[in-house]
Chains A and B, each alone.
Chain A
Amino acid sequence: MINNAKAIVKVDSKDAKLSMAHFFVAFGALAIGGLMGLLQTLVRSGKFELPFGIGYYQILTAHGVLMGLVLTTFFIMGFQYAAVSRTAGPHSSAARRTGWTGFWMMTAGTLMSGTMILLNEASVLYTFYAPLKAHWIFYLGLTFVVVGSWVDGIAQIMTYAKWRKNHPGVPSPLLSFMAVINTVLWIVATLGVAATVLFQLLPWSLGLVDTVDVLVSRTLFWYFGHPLVYFWLLPAYMCWYAVVPKIIGGKIFSDSLARLSFILFLLFSIPVGFHHQLTEPGIDPAWKFFQVILTFMVVIPSLMTAFSLFATFERYGRSKGATGILGWFKVLPWNDARFIVPFIGMAAFIPAGAGGIINASNQMDQVVHNTIWVTGHFHLTAATSVILTFFGISYWLIPHLTGRKLTKKMNKLGIIQAWVWFIGMAFMSGSMHIQGLLGGPRRSSFSTYGDSKQALEWIPYQIAQAVGGTILFIGIILVLVIFINLAFFAPKGDEEFPVGEAENSEERAPMVFENWKLWLGILTALILFAYTIPFIDIIQNAPPGSKGFRTW
C-alpha cells in the first residue's frame, strides 16, 4: 500500500470558488437569522418589546426561512459540490456552469422572499401554512430557491455520472455516492412543495383563484417537510461516516454499511409526512398508522449509524492500546476542533433521536404537538447536531478551499465555540422541552393568557430560554469570526480535505447499491402506496376552500 498521507488531494480551484460562493450566503443567513433567534427569545421572556412596529411573527418567519431553508440549503449544496469534486474529480465546465446557474437562481429567490418578509408582506412562517396568505413574490422567490437547488444538484449528478461511465463495474467513491443520494432525496421531496406553490399558493396569491384547499396544501408541504430534515442530516452523516474516521486516524467501520444506511434513509424518509399531521382532521387514521410504521423504520439506519460510529471509535482506541470497556473513549483526539465539534453534534443526537421517537408515537404526539417541546427538539437535531457538524466541516473545508490553514488559535476558538453552543443550547432547548411538557405553545409571542395560572408557570422557562439564546448568540458571533478569519485572513497553506478509508480495504460495496432504477422504483412504489388513497380521499371529501388571511 502506498502511503499517500502527505499527498494532499485538492478540490479544483474553480470548483472551490463556487463552493465558497455558497458558504458566503449560508453564513450571511446565519448572521441575520441568529440575530432574529436572539430577539425571539428576548421577546418571549416578557422583558423586551420589538421597536419600530416590527412584529414577532415577522422575525419568526425570517428566522425560520433563513435558518431552516437558506443556511441549510446553501451550505449543503456548497459542501456536496466540493465533496463530489474531491472524490469523483473536478467538475466539467458544463457541470460548473450548471452549478453557477443554480446558485444564482437560489440567491435571487432568497433576495425576493427576504425582501417580502422585510416589507412585512409575508409573515406566514417558513412552513407557509395556508390559509395565511403572503405576497406572491414571497412564493415566487421560494420557487426560485427550490428550482435553483435542483439545477445546482444536477451539477453533482453530472459529475457522478461521468465517473460511473469512466469506471464501469466499480462502486463510486463513498462521499460522491452519499452526496448523490441526498440530492436525489431532495429532488423527490421538493416535488411536493413545488406542487403546492405552483398549483395552489401562487395562483391564489396572484388573485387568479379565490380559495385554497388547506388540507391538500399542508399534505403536500409535509410530504416535503419530513425529508427536509433528512436532507439536513445526511450531509452531517457524510462527515460522521466518511470524514471523522480519517480525522481521528481510524478507519470507516464498513463502507457497505454506510451505503446501505443512506439507501434506507432515502427510502424511509419520504413516505412518512403524515406523522406531522397526526392531529389533523380529514386524514384517515389507518393511513396515519401506516406512515407511522414507516417512520419507525428510520430507527434501523439511525441505529446502524450509531453502531458504526461507536465501532470506528472503539477500534481506533484499541489500536492505540486502550483497554477496558470504555478505555477507547479517552484516547480520542479531544483537542482537534475538526473532531470534537462534530462529536458534540453526535452526542446531541442521543436526546434528539429519543425525542423524535416520542414525537412520532401517535398518542404521545398529543402531549407535545405544537408545544415549544417541538422547537426544543429540532434545535437539538438541526440547530445542534447538524449545525455543529457543519461548523466542524467549515473549519477544514473553508481553509482548504481558500488555500489557507486552520491555525492553533482558530482551532482553539472553534472548540470554545462548540462548548458555548452546547451550553447555550442546553439552557434553551432544555427549558423548551420542559415548558412544552407543561403545555407552553410554540410559535407564540409573549402572553400571560389573561394571567392564567398555567401560563404563569411557563415564564421562568421562557427566561431560561432568553439566557440560552444570549449564550447561543455569542456562539454565532464566534463562528462568524472564525469564518471570516478562515476565508480572508488565516495564513496561506494546505489544509487537508479528510476522506476516510474502509477498515477492510478488500471490501467492495455490492454494485446493487448503485442500481438507481431499483431504488427509485422501490421509492416510487412506497410513496404511491402511502399517499395515493389518502390523497384521493382528501380531495374527494374536501370542505369548501378557504379565502386568504392576513393576521399581521
Chain B
Amino acid sequence: MAKVELKAKQNTEIEDRSSLKGTMASVLFLLLFIIVSWLGVYYLFVDRF
C-alpha cells in the first residue's frame, strides 16, 4: 500500500551570519599542527639522546 508523503521535510535552517564555526575549526587545525610537529621532533630527541 503506497502512502503519499504530503510534505518533504524541508531544511529551512538559515546559517547564522555571526557563526564562528570556521574559526573554531581553523584554530583546532593549528593546535593539531603544533602538536604533530612537536611530537615529531620529540620522537627524534627520544630516539637520539
**Scoring A residues 177 to 211 as 1 if CB is less than 8 Å from chain B, else 0, what string do you get?**
00000000000000000000000000000000000
Give B1-49 interface residues, CB cut-off 8 Å to A.
15, 17-23, 25-27, 30, 33-34, 37-38, 41-42, 44-45, 48-49
B41 & A437 in contact (Cβ 8 Å cutoff): yes
* Chain A positions within 8 Å of B44 at CB level: 364, 367, 437
A323-B34 in contact given A310-B23, A311-B20 (Cβ < 8 Å)? no
* Complex-state Cα separation, A366 to B25, whole angstroms: 33
Give the docked Cα–Cα distance between A353 and B33 (Å).
10
- For A303, the chain B residues whose CB sits under 8 A away are 27, 30
Q: A354-B37, A367-B44 are in contact. Are A325 and B25 (CB under 8 A)?
A: yes
Measured between beta carbons, the chain B residues less than 8 angstroms from A314 are 19-20, 22-23
Contact residues on A (Cβ < 8 Å of other chain), bracket:
20 to 34
Complex contacts, B30 vs chain A, CB 8 Å: 303, 306, 350
In whole angstroms, what is the CA distance A250 to B45 when docked?
44
Closest to B27 in A: A307
A351 surroundings in chain B (CB, below 8 A): 33, 37
Q: Which one of A311, A323, A350 contacts B33 once the chains associate, using CB atoms below 8 Å? A: A350
Is A442 in the interface zone, CB < 8 Å from B?
Answer: no
Candidates A318, A319, A323, A364; contact of B42 at CB < 8 Å: A364
Pairwise interchain contact A311-B23, C-beta atoms closer than 8 A: yes
Q: Is A328 an interface residue (CB 8 A)?
A: yes
Q: Which of A311-337 contact B (CB under 8 A)?
A: 311, 314-315, 317-319, 323-329
> Are B23 and A366 within 8 A (Cβ)?
no
Docked-complex contact B27 and A363, CB < 8 angstroms: no
**Complex: A354 Cα to B38 Cα, angstroms:** 7
A363 to B49, CA, bound (A): 9
In the bound complex, how far is the Cα of B47 from the Cα of A366, in angstroms?
Answer: 12
Query: A449–B44 Cα gap in the complex (Å)?
Result: 23
- A310-B27, A357-B37, A366-B45 given; name 5 further pairs at CB < 8 Å: A314-B22, A315-B18, A350-B30, A367-B45, A368-B41
A522 at the interface (CB under 8 A from B): no
| CB pair B22 A355 closer than 8 Å | no
A323-B15 CB under 8 A given contacts A314-B20, A364-B41, A437-B44:
yes
B49 touches A366 (CB 8 A): yes
Q: A interface vs B, CB < 8 Å?
A: 303, 306-307, 310-311, 314-315, 317-319, 323-329, 350-351, 353-355, 357-358, 361, 363-364, 366-368, 437
**Residue numbers in B under 8 Å from A311 (CB-CB):** 20, 23
Q: Inside 8 A of B21's CB, which chain A residues have their CB?
A: 325
Inter-chain contacts of B19 with A (CB < 8 A): 314, 318
The reply to whether A326 and B25 form a contact with Cβ atoms under 8 Å apart is: yes
* Residue on A nearest B19 in the bound complex, by CB: A318
- Name the A residues within 8 Å of B45 (CB-CB): 363-364, 366-367
B41 and A310 contacting across the interface, CB-CB below 8 Å: no
Quote the shortest CB–CB distance from A109 to chain B (angstroms): 39
User: Which residue of B23, B37, B49 is within 8 Å of A307 (Cβ)?
Assistant: B23
The docked-state distance in angstroms from the alpha carbon of A463 to that of B21 is 43
Residue of B nearest to A437 (CB): B44
Q: Is the CB of A357 within 8 A of B27?
A: no
A-B contact pairs, 8 of them (CB 8 A): A306-B30, A318-B18, A329-B22, A354-B33, A357-B34, A358-B37, A363-B49, A368-B41
**Which has the most chain B C-beta neighbours within 10 Å: A318, A328, A363?**
A318
The docked-state distance in angstroms from the alpha carbon of A326 to that of B23 is: 9
Shortest Cβ distance from A382 into chain B, in angstroms?
19
Contact of B26 among A310, A319, A327 (CB under 8 A): A310
A357→B33 CA distance, assembly (Å):
12
Residues of A within 8 A of B48 (CB): 367
Q: Tell me the complex Cα distance, A325–B37, Å.
A: 25
Contact, CB under 8 Å: A355 / B37: yes
B3 CB to closest chain A CB (Å) equals 34
B19 shortest CB reach to chain A, Å = 7
